[in-house]
């Protein structure tokens, strides 16, 4: 069972109070010995009773202070100070009464205990103030520590929730791409089956299974590697090669030094789909789709997807959806540190990605 800040502070402050009042009792006994050259039972008993009464008074004081521990310092401290002065008076009077009515009848004592109580009051009150102040400091410190811990836990939970939300958004963005591709592939498989080209349809199904397996295994919130991304793209382009035959020419360029570079999974997919749909699809002749990885002059990773089609992707609405999808994923993953530049060229269309990378 966990203790509250007040309970923890009361436990610790009580231990300190025992030490403080025991030291005070010992100091009184040493002082009596220094004044008289000897010490008997009466002063020892009075000193011990003062220590016990001081500890009990401190516990009462802690209870009073605990009831005001949540108040601002301007309201809390005056109440604690007044309570300490009252408890100090109570300890002095109780100790004097113990000496007068309990110890003195057994063993005659000097000096007069009531005069001693008046003289010892400043010391008793000071000790009570010290104990009360210590308790207040312990309570406020423990409460502050608990608040900082709760704040840290709340921030961690908020961070986890934000990360989960971003992962969900990334996943949703990635899965926006698949229906169109699946429709085209299944339609091509159906056409080949109806035309009696079963071996071609079977090959497409195998490639489709490989591609979907990689797609399902990939985690949109985790970074993949450039090598894995190129392997998935190769599987995808193998399927499209069956559809378009010699009209699709593919060039994949990934230097060995860049294969381990981190990249969000399926980030290049919509760019390659645009090249296929708007570069290869409308063309009667062969079109080259080139996917190339380079190290930029500033050390970042440069990824280029280009085609030698007619450049119609620049004005196609659905191509814009694919480009917007990539830009949103970049913003979620990298913020302003990554960018996508897409332009029509004299001989087709070019999309260029710049991703931050600190690899050597």
CATH number for 326: 3.30.565.10
Domain co-membership, 147 together with 265: no
Look at residues 269, 307, 66 and name the one whose alpha carbon lies nearest to residue 178: 269
Q: Is residue 317, in this structure, part of any structural domain at all?
A: yes
Domain around 224 = 176-355
Q: Tell me which of 162, 187, 204 is where a domain ends.
A: 162
Task: Give the distance between the most distant pair of CA atoms in the chain.
Answer: 126
What's the total number of domains in the chain?
Answer: 2
Dig out the tokens for 107 from the structure. 């063993």
pLDDT band at 80 (very low <50, low <70, confident <90, very high): confident
pLDDT band at 287 (very low <50, low <70, confident <90, very high): very high
Domain co-membership, 200 together with 345: yes
| Residue 222 pLDDT | 67
Q: Is residue 78, in this structure, part of any structural domain at all?
A: yes
Strand pairing report for 339-345 and 348-355:
antiparallel
| Residue 185 pLDDT | 78
Domain co-membership, 317 together with 268: yes
For the segment 15-33, the average pLDDT, to the nearest whole number, is 76
Dig out the tokens for 297 from the structure. 């002059």
pLDDT-wise least confident of 101-110, 165-174, 298-307: 165-174
Domain co-membership, 185 together with 316: yes
Q: Is residue 31, in this structure, part of any structural domain at all?
A: yes
Q: Is residue 167, in this structure, part of any structural domain at all?
A: no
For the segment 285-304, the average pLDDT, to the nearest whole number, is 90
Domain co-membership, 120 together with 91: yes
Domain co-membership, 142 together with 196: no
Residue at token pair 């207040």: 136
Higher pLDDT among residues 348 and 61, named by residue: 348
Domain co-membership, 143 together with 87: yes
Strand pairing report for 301-307 and 339-345:
unpaired
Q: Is residue 43, in this structure, part of any structural domain at all?
A: yes
pLDDT band at 23 (very low <50, low <70, confident <90, very high): confident
pLDDT band at 240 (very low <50, low <70, confident <90, very high): confident
Domain co-membership, 183 together with 274: yes
Q: Is residue 142, in this structure, part of any structural domain at all?
A: yes
Domain co-membership, 84 together with 145: yes
Q: Tell me which of 137, 162, 187 is where a domain ends.
A: 162
Q: Tell me which of 162, 189, 206 is where a domain ends.
A: 162
Residue 198 near residue 234 (C-beta atoms within 8 A): no
Give the three-class secondary structure for 342. strand
| Residue 1 pLDDT | 46
Domain co-membership, 157 together with 259: no
Q: Is residue 171, in this structure, part of any structural domain at all?
A: no
Domain co-membership, 215 together with 274: yes
Q: Is residue 184, in this structure, part of any structural domain at all?
A: yes
Domain co-membership, 66 together with 151: yes
Strand partners, 248: 287
- Asked if omega into 111 is within 30° of 0 (cis), the reply is yes
pLDDT in tens, 180-237: 667 777 877 888 888 888 888 888 888 788 777 776 666 555 688 899 889 888 888 8
């Amino acid at each position: 069972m966990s203790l509250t800040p007040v309970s923890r502070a009361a436990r610790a402050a009580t231990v300190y109070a025992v030490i403080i009042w025991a030291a005070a009792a010992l100091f009184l006994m040493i002082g009596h010995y220094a004044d008289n050259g000897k010490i008997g039972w009466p002063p020892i008993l009075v000193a011990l009773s003062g220590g016990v009464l001081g500890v009990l008074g401190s516990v009462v004081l802690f209870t009073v202070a605990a009831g005001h521990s949540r108040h601002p310092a301007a309201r809390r401290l005056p109440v604690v100070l007044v309570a300490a002065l009252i408890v100090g008076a109570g300890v002095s009077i109780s100790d004097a009464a113990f000496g007068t009515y309990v110890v003195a009848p057994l063993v005659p004592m000097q000096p007069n205990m009531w005069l001693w109580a008046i003289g010892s009051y400043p010391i008793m009150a000071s000790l009570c103030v010290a104990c009360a102040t210590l308790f207040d400091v312990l309570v406020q410190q423990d409460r502050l520590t608990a608040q900082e811990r709760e704040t840290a836990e709340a921030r961690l939970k908020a961070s986890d929730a934000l990360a989960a939300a971003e992962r969900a958004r990334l996943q949703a963005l990635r899965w926006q791409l698949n229906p169109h591709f699946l429709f085209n592939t299944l339609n091509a498989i159906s056409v080949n089956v109806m035309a009696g080209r079963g071996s071609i349809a079977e090959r497409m199904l195998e490639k489709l299974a490989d591609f979907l397996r990689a797609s399902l295994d990939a985690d949109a919130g985790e970074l993949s590697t450039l090598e894995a991304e190129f392997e998935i793209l190769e599987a995808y382009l193998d399927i499209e090669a069956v559809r378009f035959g010699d009209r699709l020419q593919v060039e994949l360029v990934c230097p060995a030094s860049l294969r381990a570079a981190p990249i969000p999974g399926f980030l290049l997919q919509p760019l390659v789909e645009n090249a296929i749909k708007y570069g290869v699809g409308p063309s009667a002749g062969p079109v080259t789709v080139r996917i190339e990885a380079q190290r930029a002059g500033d050390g970042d990773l440069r990824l280029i997807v280009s085609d030698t089609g007619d450049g119609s992707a620049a004005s196609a609405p659905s191509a814009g959806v694919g480009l917007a999808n990539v830009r949103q994923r970049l913003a979620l993953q990298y913020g302003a540190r990554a960018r996508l530049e897409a332009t029509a060229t004299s001989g087709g269309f070019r999309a260029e990605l710049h991703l931050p990378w600190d690899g050597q």
